[in-house]
Amino acid sequence: MDLTLYKDVKVSRDFNYHYYYSPAKDSKSAILFCHGFPSTSRDWRFSATYFQEKGYGVLVPDMLGYGGTAKPIDPALYVGSGLTRDIIDILDAEKLDKIIAIGHDWGCRVVSKLATWFPERILAYAFFAVTYTPPNPVHNYEQNLKVSKEKFGYEQFGYWEFFSADDAEQVIFDHWDAFCAMLFPNDPSTWETHLAPLGALRKTLTSDYASPRPTYWTEEDRRLFTETFQKNGFKAPLCWYKVQTSGLSSQDDAAVPKSKYIPPSSSPIFFGAALHDRVCLASIGASVFRLDAFKDHKVTVKEYDGDHWLIISHADQVNRDLESWIVESGL
């Protein structure tokens, strides 16, 4: 990604957003790429370059709490209505009327919320690893853990408890090598035992878990990742978890009318499932789009033989599939 193409804008919530932007050519559509935790716009480097060279407009923000964007540490500022308002302000600054919205990890939450709050600005939606998430005003974190434990034998999102703890940032930095080894697993199955269950991640880190790097995460990637987060910290990024475990996200969702729980059927949807992701399970992600609520939607589901970080490890395949979907959808 060409560093000279990064820009800054102050959104209506008075936060600075740092983002990569390359305008479209030849009337091509513009594409928004939203990253997740713990990342920056760089996670989309392969896709940004690919679609820019194809003439598409490419907009890749450092999401709130990351990179060159503002880093507030109040979880209430990370509710969906606020995050999507920020994105729309960036679109307005670049005079982009409608875009294709693509997300990975927590970026999928933002793309989902764009469907809730600003569907008139979105041509189509794509989700990687994490599926579409409708508003849920009655979300109960503890109950969800119990259900997943009964269904799968472990709590899928038990690690959210650790990431919501006051000392999480310090524990991460005190056991940095273990954090990197767990976050980018050489063996994806370790997430089922060492990351997801309640209490597992804290134990994994404090026991200084060690593992080789996966092939898709280079030494340069690790160096840049380390430099970025040791400079910027995790207090702001961890708010993406705290807004969920605190109930603030559910309170925000309570304002959404049920008529807006599902994206418009006129908007094509793409879901990229990571077959070896032991947290964001591919089977659950795909099953969402088999619900009756999506019977009138045009949904494309692709499976990738990779773990959670498929937008990096399988970037070539992801980009080809996305382009085919965009062309076939007439976008």
Beta strand 57-61 with 16-22: parallel, antiparallel or unpaired? antiparallel
What is the predicted pLDDT for the residue at 196? 98
Count Cβ atoms within 10 A of the Cβ of residue 98 and give its class: 0-12 exposed, 13-18 middle, 19 or more buried: middle
The mean pLDDT of 193-212, rounded to a whole number, is 98
| CA 311 – CA 10 distance, rounded (Å) | 29
Q: Are 20 and 89 in contact (CB under 8 A)?
A: no
> Average of pLDDT values for 137-146?
93
pLDDT digits (tens, 9 = 90+) for 8-35: 999 999 999 999 999 999 899 999 999 9
Burial class from Cβ neighbours inside 10 Å (0-12, 13-18, 19+) for residue 307 reads buried
CA separation for the pair 241, 279 (Å, rounded): 15
Q: Report, as an integer, the average pLDDT of 241-255.
A: 96
Cα–Cα distance, 327 to 42 (Å, whole number): 25
Scan for tokens 């840049």, then name that residue.
Answer: 224
> Tell me: the pLDDT tens digits for 254-269?
999 999 999 999 999 9
Residue-wise pLDDT tens digits, 252-309 = 999 999 999 999 999 999 999 999 999 999 999 999 999 999 999 999 999 999 999 9
As given in the structure block, the two tokens for residue 260 are 């807006």
Q: What is the mean pLDDT of the chain?
A: 97
Cα separation of 54 and 28, whole Å?
9
Residue (of 307, 308, 311, 290) closest to 299 by Cα position = 290
3-state secondary structure of 128: strand
Q: Domain 3-138+252-328 falls in which CATH fold? A: Rossmann fold (3.40.50)
pLDDT of residue 158: 97
Q: Where do runs of H (alpha helix) occur along the chain?
A: 45-53, 80-93, 106-117, 141-152, 159-163, 168-174, 176-183, 190, 200-206, 219-232, 239-245, 248-253, 282-288, 310-313, 315-328
The β-bridge partners of 124 are: 100
Q: Indicate the domain borders of the chain.
A: 3-138+252-328, 141-245
pTM for the structure as a whole: 0.97
Instruction: Tell me what pLDDT residue 43 has.
Output: 98
Q: State what percent of residues in the chain have pLDDT above 70.
A: 100
Q: What is the pLDDT of residue 326?
A: 98
pLDDT at 103: 98
The 10s digit of each residue's pLDDT in 58-103 is 999 999 999 999 999 999 999 999 999 999 999 999 999 999 999 9
Provide the CB-side half-sphere exposure for 25 (13 A, CA). 6
